[in-house]
Amino acid sequence: MAEASQFEFPHWREQLAEITAERDRLLLILQSMGDAVVCTDASRAITFLNTRAECLTGWTQEDAIGMPISNILVLTQEGDLKTVLDPARDCITSGKSQISERGTVLTAKDGLQRYIGYSVALVCSPSEDQLGTVLIFNDVTEIRSEEKEVEYTASHDPLTGLPNRLSFLNSLTHWLGLAKQDQQGTHCLCFIDLDKFKQVNDSGGHAAGDAVLKEVAQIILKICSSEHVSARLGGDEFAVLMPNCDTQQANWTARRLIRVIKDTEFSWDGATFRIGASIGATVINQQSPELSEILHQADMACYAAKEQGRNRLSFYNGRRRTLVDSLSSAAWIKGL
């Protein structure tokens, strides 16, 4: 028996040395990776952090070992920072890998937030027992910031910073859909067309016109609530969508807009300008027609406000089409 051990013990020592060397080699590879790597056991307790993971989380491996991964990787979804994500738990529960290319926010130990992309996979034994997870992630803050800048540029007016026509139509489509689902839901759409704006461009040039448009945008933002969706549709045309708003509230807001714009003295390069605003409004509810018709209703109401003397509010009431047709005919005859 002793003779057998004499030969077997060195053999096991050699195997142990090989396993140790392989483990050290793998750890060295993990430490050298440019991506952050975090490993856990089956209970989601931290077993390993590489140098990059220490840098991004603010935790050292020594302090993190044995702690729940959710305490070290504090992850939330972009736009919903209250809901904490735990991809390691989801991976263990589902038995499937979890991937997020971007849109996940990592809050480091010092409170610094970064956008990350990650993938997490199960680590299993040859008998398919769950041993833990390995999570690889990287900092995509710069990429995400560039994407958000492109998204912002595509959805906002470069002069005023307000949402542009496309973005506004997307919001309007969303609220119209909700109104058709909810019998109690009522929203108001207002089209704003500036009066005497052409005189600003003619006398002060386009720079003066741009300055006035930017100031009007600020007036709209100041008077409208944060729940309202304001936009510049183009030229001297603006729009405001007032969700969950009855006609009385919309009436008050629209008339205040008219009054403030009318009473504001716009200045540019030593010159002053006075303009006005005509507003056409229509109600959006479960009985509303399709989007194109709603836009037409607001446009007709705005046209009627202008024809009735400008600096006024006109609500579409179902008979507005006849009124507009009559006013258009009168204007055409007067032009003869």
DSSP 87-121: HHHHHHHHSS-EEEEEEEEEE-TTS-EEEEEEEEE
Per-residue pLDDT of 211-234, as tens digits, reads: 999 999 999 999 999 999 999 999
Q: Could you tell me which residues are beta bridge partners of residue 208?
A: none
Long-range contact list for 200-205, CB < 8 A, 24+ apart?
Answer: 200/266, 200/273, 200/275, 203/271, 203/273, 204/268, 204/269, 204/271, 204/273
* 3-state secondary structure at position 79: coil
Angle between helix 165-181 and 141-155 (nearest 10): 90
State the pLDDT at residue 102.
Answer: 77
pLDDT at site 310: 87
The confidence score (pLDDT) of residue 23 equals 57
- Given this model, what pLDDT does residue 250 score? 94
Counting as low any pLDDT under 70, the low residues of the chain are 1-34, 183-184, 319-336
Closest Cα partner for 283 from 275, 293, 273, 274?
A: 293
In this predicted structure, what is the pLDDT of residue 328?
41
Specify the pLDDT at position 336. 30
Q: Contact 251/313 with Cβ under 8 angstroms?
A: yes
- 236 is an active site residue: yes
- Write down the pLDDT at residue 318: 74
- 107 has which bridge partners? 74, 113
Taking only Cα atoms into account, the Rg of the chain, rounded to an integer number of angstroms, comes to 32
Q: For tokens 């997870």, name the residue.
A: 133
Instruction: Read off the DSSP letter of residue 77.
Output: E
Angle CA(217)–CA(219)–CA(224) in degrees, nearest 5? 95
Q: Give the separation between CA 277 and CA 233, rounded to whole angstroms.
A: 15
Neighbours of 28 (CB within 10 A): 9
The stretches of 119-196 forming alpha helices (DSSP H) are 141-155, 165-181
Question: Which of 46, 42, 14, 48 shows the shortest CA–CA distance to 28?
Answer: 48
- Per the CB < 8 A criterion, the answer to whether 126 and 96 are in contact is no
Domains (range + CATH), the chain: 33-143 (3.30.450.20), 154-327 (3.30.70.270)
Which among 35, 80, 236, 269 is annotated as catalytic?
236
118 closest CA partner among 60, 57, 61, 47: 57
